[in-house]
């Protein structure tokens, strides 16, 4: 292959920069910007490793899988060869550490901080995703609640979000309708790969676009302000926390809510294959009215990557009320997530 250098063929040790120059620079160029098509002879353009928007958002595990097993390991082109037999794991990590330095802007949170997405608790990491979430009442009045959420990242730390709920409920006969559309802005305030933590703040406006008389909306604009925190824990475990307030713009009960999700990720094929992330969420909310009770729910769940590229995922769980259960049914929940920055729906399988 064009990208295999003499140092790799002879198993030479060296610094990350030396290994990169001998193993990767023939294709990716010494500065990481990619060698021109006329030189390497590839139809596909080579990625620009200095582009922070491209180079920082994925974790080392994704990069390592491609270097070890080649482009097809993540559903990319076979023109990226496998180096797993030519380089040791230590050498590959040295190369990765060098490549990470091509993005010189520390404002960009590293992909390791992009923790698995729970069913309810918001993430702190900004993303480019589309998520379809479905909630089905397992008892009580029959209802199917759906929500499509579109998230778009801009710059190093910012994200805008647009959510459209649409539901079906049986009240004698089945009826459906669009609910209250939500617009949100998220900003990462602090992040540190060294401590494994990320902290963000979000402002959201829920507009009264649904038919409140038919039960498909609240009939009032609601403002939400919340903070989110993610923490990497030992042994591929993680913790995510969200806390905030919900404030209707007209006379209605204001409320506080807090959520936490804890889980652990497992990967097949020595860490390079399909990822499985069992989690459990604890959800709490309370109106500000005097004497109001706290509603507690628990949500055991299981996220799994579906595509080889791991940009299509699903999560399945059950939301179980723990306190004040009257009128609050057990619900089955699931989502399908598409990280569209990483490829189309038909790519990477």
Residue 53 domain-assigned (yes or no): yes
Question: How far apart, in Å, are the Cα atoms of 261 and each of 69, 122, 215, 266?
Answer: 32, 9, 29, 16
Cα separation of 223 and 167, whole Å? 21
Residue 349 domain-assigned (yes or no): no
**Dihedral (C-alpha) 56, 57, 61, 65: value to the nearest 10 degrees?**
-90
pLDDT single digits (tens) 186-236:
999 999 999 999 999 999 999 999 998 888 888 899 999 999 999 999 999
Cβ atoms 17, 98 nearer than 8 A: yes
Residue 153 domain-assigned (yes or no): yes
**Residue 103: predicted pLDDT:** 92
Q: Do 134 and 65 have their domain in common?
A: no
> DSSP strand E in 155-195: where?
158-171, 173-178, 182-192
CATH of the domain at 284: 2.40.160.40
Domain that holds residue 158: 111-342
Query: In this structure, what are the phi and psi dihedrals at residue 29, rounded to the nearest 5 degrees?
Result: 75, 155
Residue 105 domain-assigned (yes or no): no
Q: Do 169 and 45 have their domain in common?
A: no
Q: Do 96 and 115 have their domain in common?
A: no
CATH of the domain at 13: 1.10.760
Q: Do 117 and 211 have their domain in common?
A: yes
Q: Do 119 and 167 have their domain in common?
A: yes
Strand, helix or coil for residue 277 = strand
Q: Do 27 and 170 have their domain in common?
A: no
> Could you tell me where the DSSP H helices lie in the chain?
6-9, 16-23, 25-28, 37-40, 52-55, 60-69, 89-100
Q: Do 135 and 217 have their domain in common?
A: yes
Query: Any bridge partners for residue 201, and if so which?
Result: 187, 227
What does the block give as tokens for 125? 């990491």
Query: Among 59, 74, 100, where does a domain finish?
Result: 100
What letter would DSSP give residue 45? P
Tell me if the pTM is above 0.95: no
pLDDT truncated to tens, each residue of the chain (349 aa)? 334 444 444 455 689 999 999 889 888 989 988 887 777 667 778 889 999 999 999 999 899 899 999 988 888 888 888 998 889 999 999 999 999 999 989 999 999 999 999 999 999 999 999 999 999 999 988 999 999 999 999 999 999 999 999 999 988 889 899 999 999 999 999 999 999 999 999 999 999 999 988 888 888 999 999 999 999 999 999 999 999 999 998 877 899 999 999 999 999 877 788 999 999 999 999 999 888 999 999 999 999 999 999 999 999 999 999 999 998 999 999 999 999 999 999 998 9
Residue 245 domain-assigned (yes or no): yes
The total number of structural domains that make up the chain? 2
Q: Do 84 and 133 have their domain in common?
A: no
| Nearest of 208, 190, 210 to residue 200 by alpha carbon | 190
Residue 41 domain-assigned (yes or no): yes
Q: Do 34 and 138 have their domain in common?
A: no
Q: Do 46 and 132 have their domain in common?
A: no
What letter would DSSP give residue 294? P
**Residue 247: predicted pLDDT:** 93
Query: Among 100, 132, 154, where does a domain finish?
Result: 100
Q: Do 210 and 159 have their domain in common?
A: yes
Query: Among 100, 126, 142, where does a domain finish?
Result: 100
Residue 348 domain-assigned (yes or no): no
């Amino acid at each position: 292959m064009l990208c295999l250098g003499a140092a790799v063929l002879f198993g030479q040790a060296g610094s990350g920069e030396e290994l990169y120059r001998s193993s990767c620079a023939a294709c990716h160029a010494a500065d990481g910007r990619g060698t021109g098509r006329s030189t390497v002879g590839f139809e596909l353009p080579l990625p620009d490793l200095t582009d922070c928007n491209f180079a920082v958002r994925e974790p080392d595990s994704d990069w390592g899988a491609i270097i070890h097993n080649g482009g097809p390991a993540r559903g990319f082109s076979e023109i990226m060869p496998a180096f797993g037999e030519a380089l040791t794991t230590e050498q590959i990590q040295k190369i990765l550490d060098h490549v990470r330095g091509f993005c010189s802007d520390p404002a960009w949170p590293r992909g390791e901080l992009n923790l698995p997405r729970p069913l309810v608790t918001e993430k702190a990491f900004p993303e480019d995703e589309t998520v379809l979430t479905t909630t089905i009442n397992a008892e009580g009045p029959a209802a199917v609640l759906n929500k499509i959420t579109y998230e778009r990242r801009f710059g190093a730390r910012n994200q805008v979000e647009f959510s459209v709920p649409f539901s079906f409920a049986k009240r004698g006969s089945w009826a459906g309708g669009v609910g209250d559309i939500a617009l949100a802005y998220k900003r990462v305030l602090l992040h540190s790969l060294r401590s494994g933590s990320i902290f963000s703040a979000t402002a959201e406006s829920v507009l009264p676009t649904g038919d409140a008389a038919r039960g498909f909306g609240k009939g009032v604009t609601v403002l939400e302000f919340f903070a989110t925190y993610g923490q990497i824990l030992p042994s591929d475990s993680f913790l995510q926390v969200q806390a905030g307030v919900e404030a209707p713009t007209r006379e209605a009960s204001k409320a506080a809510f807090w959520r936490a999700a804890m889980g652990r990720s497992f990967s097949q094929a020595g860490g390079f294959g399909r990822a499985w992330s069992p989690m459990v969420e604890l959800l709490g909310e309370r109106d500000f009215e005097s004497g109001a009770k706290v509603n507690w729910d628990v949500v055991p769940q299981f996220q799994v990557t579906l595509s080889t590229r791991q940009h299509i995922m699903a999560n399945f769980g059950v939301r179980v009320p723990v306190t004040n259960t009257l009128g609050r049914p057990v619900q089955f929940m699931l989502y399908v997530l598409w990280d569209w920055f990483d490829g189309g729906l038909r790519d990477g399988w």
